[in-house]
Amino acid sequence: MATKKIMYGLYDDEVVLIKAVKKVRAEGLKIHDCYTPFPVHGLDDAMGLRMTKLHSAGFIFGATGTLTALSFILWITTNNYPINYGGKPYLSLPSWIPITFELTVLFASVGMFLTYLYLNRLAPGMKAEIVDERTTCHMFAMTFEIDDHTTDAKKTEIRKVLSDSGAVEIHEKEL
Amino acid sequence: MNGSNKFEYTAKLKNRFLGMLVIGVVLVVVGMLTGASMDRFWSNYLQNTLFFLGISVLAVFFLAAHQIGMAGWHITVKRIPEAMSQFSKVGAVLMLVVVFGVIFDYHHLYHHWTNTFIQEKEVSVEALKDYEAELAEEGHSTEHAVDYNRTWQDFQYHQVAPAPEHVDAAKPEPEVLENGMVVNPYYDRLIDHKSAYLNKTFWSIRSISYLFLWVLMAMIIRRYSLREDLDNSDTFYQKTRKAAAVFLIIWAVSSSTMTWDWVMALDPHWYSTLFGWYNFISLFVASICTTILILIYLKRNGYLTQLNENHLHDLGKYAFGFSVFWTYLWFSQFMLYWYGNIPEETRWCLDRARTDYKWLFYANLLLNFLFPFLTLMRRDAKRNMNVLMIVAIGLIITHWLDFYMMITPATLGTEVHFGILEIGMFIAYAGLFLFVVFGELAKASLIPQNHPMYKESLDHHI
């Protein structure tokens, strides 16, 4: 697997980070990602990230659950194993609703959970790509992708923008 | 600030609301002249009074719940529920007309249990004769004795209510007991059983005390909020917290009992344990939607510049979430009734789902659940004023219909009565409500800038 090279600046305050992100984007540089110890309000907007499509996936999973439950119970109660419950007709929608509801929630939540893991390339035993261990504690990192073809002029530009916008440390690293 | 925090209540707007009121009253009069009965008038009067009084009291609940939850986002919104809460004064007076009607007997809304004759096992022969003469004179059937034993299956297999044969059948002469009394053939076990709670005195005391307490708390919370505008400390914030806690305790009890007293008591043979919550949530959705509509009106007219789509998003989430919760309660009740098949319970659904009200009954579920569920599900929809406005108008009308469905079959029987009178009454109440609420809005700054959480509300972001 090809190694990925990044260049990153560390900030010690989220307000400075958000300002820095806006400044860097205004200069036309492409930010790879930001790493923060906690969710920072407004960072998504500042970085110009598009909204996640996870909820659309959730709706599809949920609808699948609804259809699965309804069709399965329909088949059981009218075809496979019809039982007379208290004189009610075999095809009794009210009694199916609780199970349909449960399966909708189950499909939606499990489906979204697995999709989330897949999108973020997470799984048990997977090696985490940690830019800097301090980003799990008190520092905020803004990273840029670089490779062997990146010119020194470009690197200098990134360095300058980072330090101008208040980064306390700037590093290059191979992941 | 651009100085637009003060709402200007123009004469044009005032006239528009008063015009609604006048048109509504005219329609009601036309409806009455074209043959609507007094019972139908009172039924509509009760429904609309409850609905609009409920919306205003739920506005107090909105304020109190956010205060206790130490919420900050709603400060830019806060003055609208505050203004709505002041309608409770008018609503309480209108409701008192119904309460006094029970005391002085000028309407028949609660005639099932206000009738004490049917609560006695043994009566004298003369009393029985008098009662029967009275019945014949009024032309009332003894409908309260009809439907003890109707179950879902009766409807399942016959598709219609079985004819109440035992009522019309010739009655045998009542047997005279040793003490000279006779067994009361009109004796109603269920109503007698409930008479310790459902009697005129206790009912009137309860009804008046809810109205008094709600209006009192609405006025106190509003007053603190207005005085906060002139005060730079957090004194009134702390005072409002206490008032909010008191209101929530009062509301926790009275929200259920008001439903028993004012809605369930219309049909005293019927048993339900979650009907209080059902009413509460129905009113809460209507209250949130009214807030949304007034907000959008103000925003479109250049007020509330500090308000942005994040605040609307939160209100939209309420409308969405509580619509789902309303459905949860509706369905919980419906399914357990259907499964249990106990006559005292199923009768409520049967009177609605297997009569002329059938279409309205299922439309009620679809409009109050699927419509907001599918339209408000997307994030963008909750942040879009046009979508929110359409959904809010729809939900107010359908929750009003929900109240129509609760009250009218119980007061007027299972034939649908819907016409000019119903529409006129709604327009009249809406006009009166808006007239009062916008008058209150004009009395204070639209944004309480001295509230300790004012800044937090401006920074609200989701």
3-state SS, A101-154, equals HHHHHHHHHHHHHHHHHHHCCCCCCCCCCCCCHHHHCCCEEEEEEECCCCCHHH
Q: Output the CA torsion sign for B353, B392, B217, B426.
A: negative
Distances (CA, A) of B397 to A164, B150, B155, B290, B392: 58, 32, 30, 11, 9
Query: Which residues of chain A neighbour B157 with C-beta distances below 8 Å?
Result: none
Q: Output the CA torsion sign for B439, B441, B442, B443.
A: positive
Distances (CA, A) of B441 to A158, B126, B295, B298: 54, 61, 11, 10
A51 touches chain B (CB under 8 A): yes
Cβ of B339 within 8 Å of Cβ of A87? The answer is: no
Q: Please, what is the average pLDDT of chain B?
A: 88
What is the number of CB-based contacts under 8 A between chain A and chain B? Answer: 20
Residue B205 is predicted with a pLDDT of: 96
Query: Which residues of chain A neighbour B377 with C-beta distances below 8 Å?
Result: 59
Residues B280, B286, B290, B293, Cα dihedral to 10°: 140
Select from A40, A41, A52 the residue whose CB has the most chain B CBs within 10 Å, as the one to mutate to test that interface.
Answer: A41
Q: How far is B36 from chain A (nearest CA, A)?
A: 37
Bridge partner residues of A8 (DSSP)? A143, A171
Give me the domains of chain A, ranges plus CATH numbers: 5-49+126-174 (3.30.70), 54-119 (no CATH)
Residue B139 is predicted with a pLDDT of: 59
> What residue type is assigned to position B157 of the chain?
Y
Measured distance CA(B365)–CA(B376) in Å, rounded: 16
Banded pLDDT at B140 (limits 50, 70, 90): low
A97 touches chain B (CB under 8 A): yes
Measured distance CA(B10)–CA(A169) in Å, rounded: 60
Cβ of A51 within 8 Å of Cβ of B379? The answer is: yes
B377 touches chain A (CB under 8 A): yes
> Backbone phi, then psi, for B144, in 5-degree steps?
-65, -15
- Look at residues B267, B64, B242 and name the one whose alpha carbon lies nearest to residue B146: B267
Give the residue-averaged pLDDT of A37-57: 88
- Look at residues B78, B11, B45, B46 and name the one whose alpha carbon lies nearest to residue B307: B78
Residue B93 makes CB contacts below 8 A (sequence gap 6+) with: none
Closest in B341, B379, B461 to A41, CB measured: B461
Whether the per-residue pLDDT at B2 is higher than 50: the answer is no
Residues B46-95: pLDDT tens digits?
Answer: 999 999 999 999 999 999 999 999 999 999 999 999 999 999 999 999 99
Measured distance CA(B146)–CA(B162) in Å, rounded: 10
Residues B89-120: pLDDT tens digits?
Answer: 999 999 999 999 999 989 889 988 888 888 88
Measured distance CA(B50)–CA(B109) in Å, rounded: 14
Q: How far is A43 from chain B (nearest CA, A)?
A: 11
Query: Which residues of chain B neighbour A59 with C-beta distances below 8 Å?
Result: 377
Q: Collapsing DSSP states into helix, strand and coil, what is residue A78?
A: helix
For B198, half-sphere exposure in the C-beta direction (CA atoms, 13 angstrom radius) is 26
Residue B10 is predicted with a pLDDT of: 92
Banded pLDDT at B35 (limits 50, 70, 90): confident
Whether the per-residue pLDDT at B171 is higher than 80: the answer is no
Select from B328, B335, B378, B461 the residue whose CB has the most chain A CBs within 10 Å, as the one to mutate to test that interface.
Answer: B335
Would you list the DSSP string of B223-254? HHHHHHTT--SSHHHHHHHHHHHHHHHHHHHH
Query: What tokens appear for A164 in the block?
Result: 């101008």
Query: Which residues of chain B neighbour A51 with C-beta distances below 8 Å?
Result: 379
Cβ of B341 within 8 Å of Cβ of A42? The answer is: no
Q: Collapsing DSSP states into helix, strand and coil, what is residue A172?
A: strand
Residues B346-379: pLDDT tens digits?
Answer: 888 888 888 889 899 999 999 999 999 999 998 8
Q: Give start and end residues of each alpha helix (H) in B341-416.
A: 343-353, 358-365, 371-375, 379-382, 385-412
Q: What percent of chain B has pLDDT over 70?
A: 91
A55 touches chain B (CB under 8 A): yes
Residue B279 near residue B66 (C-beta atoms within 8 A) = no
User: Which of left, alpha, beta for B341 (phi over 0: left; psi -120 to 50: alpha)?
Assistant: left
List of E strands, B162-228:
182-183
Distances (CA, A) of A15 to A20, A36, A41, B200: 9, 12, 10, 65
Query: Which residues of chain A neighbour B334 with C-beta distances below 8 Å?
Result: 94
A41 touches chain B (CB under 8 A): yes
Banded pLDDT at B132 (limits 50, 70, 90): confident
Residue A162 near residue A9 (C-beta atoms within 8 A) = yes
Measured distance CA(B182)–CA(B179) in Å, rounded: 9
Closest in A42, A55, A97 to B461, CB measured: A42
Distances (CA, A) of B93 to A168, B27, B46, B162, B444: 67, 22, 12, 42, 24
A98 touches chain B (CB under 8 A): yes
Closest in B335, B341, B377 to A86, CB measured: B341
Q: Collapsing DSSP states into helix, strand and coil, what is residue A51?
A: coil
